[in-house]
Structure 1
Amino acid sequence: MDRPASEAGQDSAPRIGSVVIGRNEGERLVACLRSQPAVPVAYVDSGSTDDSVANARAAGVTVIQLTKPPGFSAARARNAGVRVLLERHPDLEFVQLTDGDCSLREGWIDRAVAALRADPGLAAVFGRRREIHPERSVYNALCDDEWDVAMGEASACGGDAMFRVAALQSVGGYNDAMIAGEDPDLSMRLRRKGWRLERIDAEMTWHDAAILSFQQFWTRTRRAGHAFAELARLYPDERWPDWVRSCRSIVFWGGAMPAALLAAVLLALVHNPLWWIVAAGLLLVWPLKIAQLYLRQRRHGLPPRIAFASAALLMIGKIPQFLGLASFHYGRWSNRASPIIEYKRRPSA
């Protein structure tokens, strides 16, 4: 059942709902549900095999269990949560969306509602999302920096944000079929309807990325490549952000350059040793590019260790991004739906 709103019965009380989505988030979900405000909350579960559903029911929130088929996706889960909340509470003005690995910060709801109330043109607002354990790995630390976007009007928001219900309804919500990139896709459709998005100066969520291995980084980056490819296909003329340009960079650094290096090595082995000079020249381009990115990250204010890791992983990540891009186009050409790409280690039940 829904938890009662703390301001129920007050005519001036904002009509707010909250949707949490998750899949095998373990104690992260428990913390997330504990942080939710005293408003109607819906938890949408995408096939968890741990105690997520039981924990959500114990927290007293509405539980929605998605079935498969169709395939699971964050987009489908968020749509399902919003739909059920509006069926039960059709007068909702705002809905807070939160991923199950995040916990809301104290005071966020009030700050978000105030911003939306003050500017009817805003479709959504979001604040500072912070990694709760940036010290556990360089990957977590880079996520913390990634979430620190500029204040003011934004081109897109992520999965944690407060939305105006009317804005979501005006574009039909998320695209259920997208397994990655669903947030910028929704943001783009909102902006094309005349709505705006804004990053406000407020602490929003603690996020637990739990990326502790290179394999997880590789998978997460491959997922990003899949998203870039689909967004570039959907919005080829968009320049804020410019997904087509991003895909060109991915193809060059993650596809063409490694292919050229491999070809040079093979030619040196089977044809002419002078090709080793070409191979060495191609190989040298990578550290030069990493050095350029390192200097840029240092100017951005990152400490030396994190700046170097960011620069190196940005370049290394072009390869899994290319694989994700290629898998998207293969699936499109072969008419095969892509399965969700999961990078997070799931806690034990």
Structure 2
Amino acid sequence: MMNQPPLISVVVIGHNEGQRLIRCLTSVRECSYPNIELLYIDSHSSDDSVAQAANLSDSVYLASQKGAAAARNVGLAHAQGDWIMFLDGDTILAPLFLSQALADLQADTQLACAWGHRVEKDPQQSIYVRVLDLDWRYPPGETAFCGGDALFRREALLQVEGFNARLLAGEEPEICFWLRKKGWKIMHLDLAMTQHDLAITQFKQYWQRTCRAGYAYAAVSAMTQDFWIQEVRHNYRQSSILLSLMLIFMLGAIWQPLLSAAALLTLTLLMLRSSWRARWRSPHWHNLLLYGVHSWFAQIPITMGIWRCKRDRAAKRRASFGNYKEVKK
């Protein structure tokens, strides 16, 4: 009789994901790995997520507080496997990822975490999804952090006492920072891992999600006193350049048209440079042009998110974010 492969606990977290959650749980059930425990952790959903998950999962739990970190900690506390795959409820798991990623983790005892390629399920649903899809692209190899979908070694997670529930964003980079401090490695594998559904079709959603990213930069850099500090400084510098060029453009339009044209030309060249530097992310020039615009324009909401974090920390307030997928028209 053949030995059964190690148990992998798949922890899916979600909040009002609807049909996306059903697709996610179904993809786990249909994946090729033969020994899975499937747990769903719900973060205060108001739809029928809990009822739907009860039909597809082995166990369903409710998170006591909001945030992905708190929900993942609930999953960690109840998972039985020595290997834990965390998934967001708006993703679809690639059929072969668990088997392939587990083999890499077993082969290298220094690996705490293995993750693969996340891509958007439907990048053509809006220009926002098309451009943000490129943000998921990372070259394979050892990395500083992973995203929300990743296969972890339970032993490593317990050494750093799980995710930081005080963070409502940026909890994966933060835990990876502490794991690396303990001598563990994070590996991005050249494997298909998940399809994701951003479902961003409105500018308000794009703005809120990008502000949240800035908040995460500031929160993680403050808590680690190290990681992402350079990113915060970079965002300040980029947003200062952008706002200065916009001001010069507006003043030039009133008093000196040539000055206005020079500012517009400078900004255009900066965006084209960003597009060129990102050419490894996509073979499609139109997507790269959009990405160049995004990489500069996004500095404004990112910086606003950084300021909001600093304000909340000064006032000793806990961060509070709405779900960008539930932004009203």
Query: Post-superposition shift, 1:39?
Result: 2.0
- Specify the SS of the correspondent of 1:97: strand
2:48 and 2:296 mapped to 1: Cα distance? Answer: 39
Which of 47, 72, 75 is equivalent to 1:78?
72
1:299 and 1:199 mapped to 2: Cα distance? Answer: 16
Query: Post-superposition shift, 1:256?
Result: 6.5
Query: Post-superposition shift, 1:142?
Result: 2.7
Corresponding position of 1:331: 312
CA distances 1:140-188 after superposition (whole Å, capped 9, x unpaired): 2233322221112111111101100000001011000101111100111
Corresponding position of 1:315: 296
1:220 and 1:62 mapped to 2: Cα distance? Answer: 30
**Structure 2: unaligned runs, 5 residues or longer:** 30-34
CA distances 1:278-336 after superposition (whole Å, capped 9, x unpaired): 66655553222112212323465431210110000111111100110000000001111
Aligned residues of 1:29 and 1:101 also touching (Cα < 8 A): yes
**Are residues 275 and 257 of structure 1, via their aligned partners in 2, closer, same or farther at CA, if it must alter by over 3 Å?**
farther
Corresponding position of 1:179: 168
Aligned residues of 2:245 and 2:267 also touching (Cα < 8 A): no
Instruction: Tell me whether 48-57 or 198-207 shows the greater mean CA deviation.
Output: 198-207
Give the percent of matched residue pairs that are identical in Structure 1 and Structure 2: 33
Corresponding position of 1:100: 89
**Structure 1: unaligned runs, 5 residues or longer:** 1-8
1:336 and 1:284 mapped to 2: Cα distance? Answer: 42
Question: What is the Cα-based RMSD across aligned positions, in Å?
Answer: 2.6
**Are residues 184 and 11 of structure 1, via their aligned partners in 2, closer, same or farther at CA, if it must alter by over 3 Å?**
same
**Are residues 55 and 171 of structure 1, via their aligned partners in 2, closer, same or farther at CA, if it must alter by over 3 Å?**
same
Aligned residues of 1:265 and 1:276 also touching (Cα < 8 A): no
1:117 and 1:294 mapped to 2: Cα distance? Answer: 39
**Are residues 229 and 97 of structure 1, via their aligned partners in 2, closer, same or farther at CA, if it must alter by over 3 Å?**
same
1:154 aligns with 2:151: no
Which of the two has higher C-alpha Rg?
1
Corresponding position of 1:14: 6
1:296 and 1:260 mapped to 2: Cα distance? Answer: 21
Moved runs in structure 1, 4+ residues, more than 4 A? 9-12, 259-266, 273-284
Corresponding position of 2:238: 253
Equivalent pairs counted in the alignment come to 323
Corresponding position of 2:129: 140
Aligned residues of 2:91 and 2:194 also touching (Cα < 8 A): yes
Query: Post-superposition shift, 1:138?
Result: 2.6
1:340 aligns with 2:321: yes
2:218 and 2:286 mapped to 1: Cα distance? Answer: 31
